[in-house]
Structure 1
Amino acid sequence: MASAAEIVRNHEYDPNGVEYLAPSPKSEHIEVVPYDPAWPDAFEELAARIHAALGDVALSIEHVGSTSVPGLPAKPIIDIDLTVPDSRDEAAYRPALEAAGFPVLFREPVFHEHRFARSDSPPANIHIWSPDCPEAIRHRMLRDWLIAHPEDREQYAAAKFASAEQINAEGGMVMDYNQRKQPVIRYILERMFRAHGLID
């Protein structure tokens, strides 16, 4: 079971810790749009396809990220946390995922052995973790917190629009967009962790 210290620990993005299995991304246009009530249905479609491909290897399939929070503007890309018995054992899930149209694009051994897959239709990012991963726990906690706290949801929405505007004006990638909105996310996470008694 993940400890409180593991859950509250912030990891800094390390580009040297990413092992690309496909060409690395170039500069991207970041689009943040109003909440779309069709996003939950898109998640259900994707989850059904993943479950059909993996069967019992898919221990859990969770809708996370901004598209999982009603009323929150987001990039129109569904974020999914897929838990498998061991994310390092790619032979157990990668061939079946890729055959179902979800190519695995990179791995991050230093970041909870994270693997990343993508769907083009509907657009989705699929984050692959092992059981009790602290990052997956954070994702679920933040989703539920933003659903319950409209003031934080509004503050996060403003940060998303500002970050996207800056990236589109100056150039950059999704990771740059994420880095620019990180201070607001960490402020919200700190409030959330304190409310849950994970930090003093």
Structure 2
Amino acid sequence: MVMSERLTDDALAAKLVGGLRPTRVELREYDPAWPARYEACAAQLRTILGDRARLIEHIGSTSVPGLVAKPVIDIVAGIDAPDDEPAYVPELEAAGYVVRVREPEHRCLRLERTDGPVNLHCYPPDHLEVRRYLVFRDRLRADAADRARYAAVKRELARHEWRDINYYAEAKWPVIREILGNAGWTE
């Protein structure tokens, strides 16, 4: 979800399908099997979505070699009109995906797999969030100091319990902004 303003339980409840889910973040050291998990999911998504997916990219910490991560494969798909759920969501649901977030120009769907969960973020392909995800991922892949700084923050935050995973994500924003700035990102 876009983290442009401070989260509240009410604001989250309006966007989350199924409500808030208290959580404790469990991090794992980088697993070299994560890229293969992504590739398998991406191939399935290409089959399901065809030309409707103008972009499919591995994002999040599992996309960064050497980075500690929740063992969840995060994928962003560029869909021209993500708000038009009848155009693509039924086929994703038939494959086991469940809509978890509904907000303008963004849907997040979750797939529970035996080898670990997948989060699929659907945005228009040229959306600001898509560009931000890719710039952030590429910076972490390229810069060991930023990768280590981000890992340290994640480890510290994982020591806490969260009313919802989105609060954990929000707590990472100061270091994310700093790393994006190091990559030359301006909003």
Give the TM-score normalised by structure 2. 0.89
User: What's the offset of the Cα at 1:84?
Assistant: 1.0
Q: Kindly provide the CA deviation profile for residues 148-179 of structure 1, in whole angstroms up to 9, marking residues without a partner as x.
A: 10000000000000001123xxx432112112
The correspondence for 2:152, drawn from 149, 158, 179, is: 158
User: What's the offset of the Cα at 1:51?
Assistant: 1.4
Q: Quick one: structure 1 residues 145 and 114, their matched pair in 2 at CA, closer, same or farther if it must change by over 3 Å?
A: same
Q: Kindly provide the CA deviation profile for residues 125-146 of structure 1, in whole angstroms up to 9, marking residues without a partner as x.
A: 1100012001000101111111
Q: 2:125 corresponds to which residue?
A: 131
User: Secondary structure at 1:162's aligned position in 2?
Assistant: helix
- Letter of the aligned partner of 1:175 in structure 2? N
- Letter of the aligned partner of 1:80 in structure 2? I
User: What's the offset of the Cα at 1:12?
Assistant: 2.0
Q: 1:193 corresponds to which residue?
A: 184
Q: 1:115 corresponds to which residue?
A: 107
Structure 1, unmatched stretches of 5+, are 1-8
Contact 2:23–2:164 under 8 Å retained in 1 = yes
- Letter of the aligned partner of 1:188 in structure 2? I
User: What's the offset of the Cα at 1:50?
Assistant: 1.2
- Letter of the aligned partner of 2:15 in structure 1? E
Aligned length in residues: 181
- Letter of the aligned partner of 2:165 in structure 1? V
User: Secondary structure at 2:159's aligned position in 1?
Assistant: helix
The answer to whether residue 47 in structure 2 is matched with residue 55 in structure 1 is: no
Q: 1:12 corresponds to which residue?
A: 5
Structure 2, unmatched stretches of 5+, are none
Contact 2:29–2:67 under 8 Å retained in 1 = yes
Q: 1:181 corresponds to which residue?
A: 172
The correspondence for 2:65, drawn from 66, 70, 82, is: 70
Question: Share of identical aligned residues, percent?
Answer: 42
Give the TM-score normalised by structure 1. 0.84
* Structure 1 residue runs of 4 or more that deviate by more than 4 Å after TM superposition: none
Separation of aligned partners in 2, 1:191 and 1:32: 25
Q: Kindly provide the CA deviation profile for residues 94-142 of structure 1, in whole angstroms up to 9, marking residues without a partner as x.
A: 0011011111122112xxx211101111311110001200100010111
